[in-house]
Amino acid sequence: MIIPELHPLERVERISGSDLHCWVYRDEPGPEGQDPETVLMVHGLRGTHEGLELIAAELADQRVAIPDLPGFGDSGPMTERRHDIAGYAEAMLELARRLGGDARPISLVGHSFGSIVAARLAAAAPELVRRLVLINAIASPALEGPRVVLSSLTAAYYSLGEHLPVRAAHSLLSNRWVVLAASRAMTRTRDPRLRGFIDRNHLRNFSRFHSPAVLGETFRASVTHTVSDYADALTMPVLLIAGETDDIAPLAGQRALAERLPESELVIIPEVGHLVHYETPARAGAEIRRFLGCA
């Protein structure tokens, strides 16, 4: 598949003790020299900014900023906050302010684990968030319902990683075959080129965590919180983009979440699961452009 050449500007911000790396796409002034609205995107667990680049490419008229969350990719871990939902949300809130959010509210996009972080940020600082987009939103608890067995096994896997010596833990948590198994379990496309692209991205980025301890702490945050925890405080318009066959963020939870949000819209993309950002970025990008009023 053809990967767009975006040439973003890389910024490094010292936030919560982390040297936080953020990539800004199309950082040009707006009409009459005005600062353009920023679309801040938050990636999922074990991801990096690269996973959301295909959607960023679809927002051709927007200034898009995508950080590596602290402790992942090129961003160092936080030394002043925990790697939990509150810690990540505070870091993203500070980044939003440094990107001009105090002067002009941002639009905020979160995928998977990033949807929880984005919801917490939007609930804490609604004046900074004009519109909120949640892709494959984590709306129901992972340790309850039909996924409880798989989630419990996954929790044991991460717990073991925390208790092993660091070298052995990295080997376990970055195991090629485990990563590929997870990648293929989430992938729905039958296009071999796209499947290969997704596998390569997961193999490259799933192992880019700072330490087993940071990864374990973040995983626990991902299974003990949901977007629904913050639903009552989300007063801005919200777009939910769901995959029809998503096992990690099932449709029942998406629909229940949409009913709780006063200004929400639920878009269900058929024949895709938890990898909307890889498998259907053009459709997701079109929905986001329409929702933001720039289609």
What is 23-59 written as a DSSP string? EEES----GGGPPPPEEEEE--TT--GGGGHHHHHH-
164: number of CA atoms within 13 Å, CB side? 17
41: number of CA atoms within 13 Å, CB side? 28
pLDDT of residue 66: 98
Q: What is the dihedral of CA 277, 278, 280, 282, to 10 degrees?
A: 80
| Cα end-to-end span (Å), the chain | 25
pLDDT of residue 295: 53
pLDDT of residue 26: 82
Per residue in 225-240, pLDDT tens?
999 999 999 999 999 9
User: Domains, the chain, ranges and CATH?
Assistant: 9-145+225-292 (3.40.50.1820)
> Which of 24-28, 131-135, 263-267 is predicted least confidently?
24-28
Assigned token pair, 161: 């990683």
Q: Which residues are registered as beta bridge partners of 110?
A: 42, 134
- Please report the DSSP string for 184-251 in residue order: HHH-----HHHHHHHHHHHHHHTT-BS-HHHHHHHHHHHHH--GGGGGGG--S-EEEEEETT-SSS-H
How far is CA 37 from each of CA 29, 101, 103, 112, 161, rounded to the nearest angstrom? 10, 8, 10, 23, 41
Edge to edge, the sheet with strand 106-111 lists 9-15, 18-25, 63-67, 38-42, 106-111, 129-135, 238-243, 264-269
- Residue 267 parent element (H or E): strand 264-269
Look up residue 18 and give its amino acid. Answer: S
Is it the case that residue 37 has pLDDT exceeding 90?
no
Closest CA to 55 of 238, 279, 291: 279
Is it the case that residue 12 has pLDDT exceeding 70?
yes
| pLDDT level of residue 148 (50, 70, 90 thresholds) | low
